[in-house]
Amino acid sequence: MVNIKRPKNPSPLAGEGGARRVAVGGRGGVPSRSELLVRAKSMRLNPTEAEKHLWSVLRAKRLSGFKFKRQVVIDSYIVDFVNFDHRLIVEADGSQHAESDYDRRRDAYLKKQGFKILRFWNSDVLNDSDAVAETIWHALQTPPLPSAASRLPPSPARGEGIESELHV
């Protein structure tokens, strides 16, 4: 059973909210780190209804004590919610994400960095949040994926791998 602490006075939620876009320029359309941080802050201040609802479940360790952050910059991407201990990213998606090539490339990149990604339609977050919370909880029960850095071969420049040579 999932242990979810609910707020005492949750606000009534309806609809998905409007699409949010913040213009970013950077080098050849690639936003700079500072532009991404500004955009992430704007997204935290103006969440969709589904993001508000999902945050009410995930914030303040309400989901069985697991810590999540929201609208976090990871390299050149902003993720909706992330638990770094288990390297789990949770996304609340509207119809603009259906069959998105950008999302496929983004997910492939983040998976290479050792993240597991769960995507939920906004309507599921709003209408079946218990099932969404349970799915997230189950994903957190598996051991965390190793980070990309831990999958690299040892670096003698950092003094890694020397022990095995010394004990031969």
DSSP code per residue over 102-151: HHHHHHHHHHHTT-EEEEEEHHHHHH-HHHHHHHHHHHTTSPPPPPTGGG
Q: What pLDDT score does 33 carry?
A: 94
Domain 47-144 is classified in which CATH homologous superfamily?
VSR Endonuclease (3.40.960.10)
Structure confidence at residue 10 (pLDDT): 37
Rounded to whole angstroms, the Cα distance separating 24 from 85 reads 30
pLDDT of residue 91: 96
Q: How far is CA 49 from the centre of its chain?
A: 17
Residue 68: count of CB within 10 angstroms of its CB:
26
Nearest to 128 by CA among 86, 92, 82: 92
- Which residues does the chain have with pLDDT short of 70? 1-28, 95-97, 144-168
Q: How far apart are CA 105 and CA 29, in angstroms?
A: 16
- What lies within 8 Å, CB to CB, of 154 at 6+ separation is 160, 161
State residue 99's pLDDT score.
Answer: 75
pTM for the full predicted model: 0.70
Parse the chain into domains and list their residue ranges.
Answer: 47-144
The predicted pLDDT at position 150 comes to 58
